[in-house]
Copies of this chain bind each other. A is one copy, B any other.
């Protein structure tokens, strides 16, 4: 899946593809709510999400938590440390998750040999950056209602890109507290927003499944324009 995602950027050489496949064979299971990588770590391996949900997060001095990204299958967690030295944030499994580990020395070697692969990783980083910018807009210039709407549109689009949306429904195993930590709100307020979105028949959210009932209205509510995701999927 990760390979498929990278190839959206540029075709890889067969040997790159093969090397990646082999290297992805080290698979690890992480229980829910456990750190995959912690802030300050200097990990030996870089990780790819294969299944489940994860989140990047930072803790502020007063104890508050800010989630800066949600990770879904196909996302890499920390290719950073192939280039930078140290994790400047933590990564958490939100559900039980399975991740692939690649010894970073091997990855390093691979990427120095193959411009195409490095370029593909660079591409993935650039898309992540675009998502971060969208979050900044969310936090800075949208009210809570618009922010929740926008977040749901983003997650819907990203899940659809990897084939995990069926008839407008997707698994969304996020507590309201997690959502509030992503949007800079309180759980209480998120709860009220969700009720409003439900009462307006924009969404349905029950037992970890989100269904978008009125995509157009939700996108309007969140000022969502999918262009920034730079999806280059067949059929999009």
- Residue positions of A touching B, CB distance < 8 A: 9, 56, 58, 60-62, 64-66, 68-69, 80, 83-86, 88-89, 111-116, 118-119, 121-123, 125-130, 132-133, 135-137, 139-142, 182-184, 223, 227-228, 230
Q: Are A132 and B126 in contact (CB under 8 A)?
A: no
Q: Are B88 and A227 in contact (CB under 8 A)?
A: yes
C-alpha spacing A64/B58, complex, angstroms? 27
Give which listed residue, B88, B118, B136, contacts A130 with CB less than 8 A.
Answer: B88
Residue of B nearest to A137 (CB): B66
C-alpha spacing A121/B129, complex, angstroms? 14
Q: Are A140 and B139 in contact (CB under 8 A)?
A: yes
**Residue of A86, A111, A127, A139 with most chain B CB atoms under a 10 A cut-off:** A139
Q: Are A58 and B137 in contact (CB under 8 A)?
A: yes
Residue of B nearest to A56 (CB): B133
Q: Are A141 and B111 in contact (CB under 8 A)?
A: no
A126 to chain B, nearest CB (A): 6
Q: Are B137 and A135 in contact (CB under 8 A)?
A: no
Q: Are A83 and B137 in contact (CB under 8 A)?
A: no
Residue of B nearest to A64 (CB): B141
C-alpha spacing A60/B182, complex, angstroms? 20
Residue of B nearest to A184 (CB): B140
C-alpha spacing A68/B136, complex, angstroms? 7
Given contacts A66-B141, A118-B122, 17 further A-B contacts (CB under 8 A): A9-B83, A58-B133, A60-B223, A66-B136, A66-B137, A68-B137, A69-B133, A80-B126, A83-B119, A84-B127, A84-B130, A88-B230, A89-B133, A112-B119, A115-B118, A139-B139, A140-B183
Given A115-B111, A125-B129, CB of A61 within 8 Å of CB of B223: yes
A91 to chain B, nearest CB (A): 12
C-alpha spacing A122/B123, complex, angstroms? 9
